[in-house]
Amino acid sequence: MMLATIYKQLTQRDFKILRAIERGLGKYEYVPVEYIISQSRIPETYAYMSLGKLNKLKLVRRITATYLGYQLTYRGLDCLALKSLVDRGIIEALGDKLGVGKESDVYRALTPAGDQVILKLHRVGRTSFRQTKRYRTYLEDKPSLGWLIQAKIAGEREFKALAELHKAGARVPRPLGWSRHAVVTEYVEGVELYRVKGLSDPVDVLQKIIDTIRIAYTRVGIVHGDLSEYNIMVTVEEEPLIIDWPQYVERDHPSAPDLLRRDVEYVVRFFRKKFNVELDLEEALQYVTGKTDAGAG
Ligand SMILES: Nc1ncnc2c1ncn2[C@@H]1O[C@H](COP(=O)(O)OP(=O)(O)OP(=O)(O)O)[C@@H](O)[C@H]1O
Ligand SMILES: [Mg+2]
């Protein structure tokens, strides 16, 4: 069932129950039903009714083995984040799913003013799960508590990085809000760099990308860490915007130099292969780290 369809079926009481489970997540892998009832302050009979409904909608997962307990699913966390974003007027409606990334689901959404925005729901554990599944089949389809918390951390990291980058003048989508593992940004009307057919001024586009890497490094103090033609959006006006920041590392992190080199190398290599633009890697590295003032042009 679609996320918007599920979301619309939920009442205030259901959200109270979901929040009560969320509150217990740091403490229990499966939150005991007594804890949920006392935290939600909902009369027992109604709480059980709600839990039954949430279980059917797959927003929670139930265990009955040693005690009756519940765990949130990513779907459940999605609904809590949506509720918060809607209540705060950051978004009003959910649109279609743009894609399923390695570590996220990306949706279109609308603000109360009718502007189109992007809602990114982080999904930590998706890829590592696929890798481990082969050997540990009992893990099948069991999102762990750790993953939800890690997804929330990813959401917070990405939002805060985008906010600082945007403030510092880096070319990134403008961040509009965040809740838990969900990040809302402006919608970029464009395509990923790898899909761009031609550029009227590739040197200028490369320069703008390099400038953003430099701003991130010298002013914000971070390295993207997963930069490539897949994480750069190019608008119709040929403005490049760097997306997908949750895995950034701080400038003084031990692996920052290697990651920075790799980020710059991927970009430089792509422009050389596709647009015949020559930029010396070492010179570019000097520039992005603020050691020189000459860029690509
Ligand atoms: N602000 C935006 N405007 C328009 N499209 C966007 C925006 N942010 C993300 N997208 C689209 O969603 C896709 C996935 O976003 P992002 O790279 O942030 O997530 P991801 O989970 O890391 O995905 P992947 O694993 O594919 O890298 C992007 O490649 C792009 O097509
Ligand atoms: Mg990406």
pLDDT digits over 153-199, tens only? 999 999 999 999 999 999 999 999 999 999 999 999 999 999 999 99
Residues carrying an active site annotation: 226
DSSP helix, strand, coil percent of the chain (3-state; round to 5): 45, 20, 35
DSSP for 251-281, written as a single string: TTSTTHHHHHHHHHHHHHHHHHHHH-----H
What value, to the nearest 5°, has the Cα angle with vertex 263 and ends 153 and 117?
A: 50
Domain chopping of the chain, boundaries: 3-72, 87-186, 190-288
For residue 235, the tally of other CB atoms under 10 A from its CB is 13
CA 245 – ligand 2 centroid, Å = 8
Ligand 2 ion local residues (Cβ < 5 A) = 231, 244
228 lines ligand 1 (CB under 6 A): no
Q: How far apart are CA 270 and CA 253, in angstroms?
A: 26
- Position 127 scores a pLDDT of 66
CATH code of the region 3-72: 1.10.10.10
Question: Atom 26 (ligand 1): residue with closest C-alpha?
Answer: 101
192 lines ligand 1 (CB under 6 A): yes
According to CATH, the topology of domain 87-186 is Phosphorylase Kinase; domain 1 (3.30.200)
**Superfamily for the 190-288 domain:** Transferase(Phosphotransferase) domain 1 (1.10.510.10)
**Burial class of residue 253 in the structure, from the number of CB atoms within 10 Å of its CB (0-12 exposed, 13-18 middle, 19+ buried):** middle
Q: Which pair of structure tokens corresponds to residue 108?
A: 């279109």
- Position 99 scores a pLDDT of 81
Q: How far apart are CA 6 and CA 59, in angstroms?
A: 9
Q: Do the two domains 3-72 and 190-288 of this chain adopt the same fold?
A: no
- Position 146 scores a pLDDT of 80
- Position 7 scores a pLDDT of 97
CA 17 – ligand 1 centroid, Å = 32
281 lines ligand 1 (CB under 6 A): no
Beta bridge partners of 77: none
| Low-confidence stretches of the chain (pLDDT beneath 50) | 129-143, 145, 296-297
DSSP state of 163: H
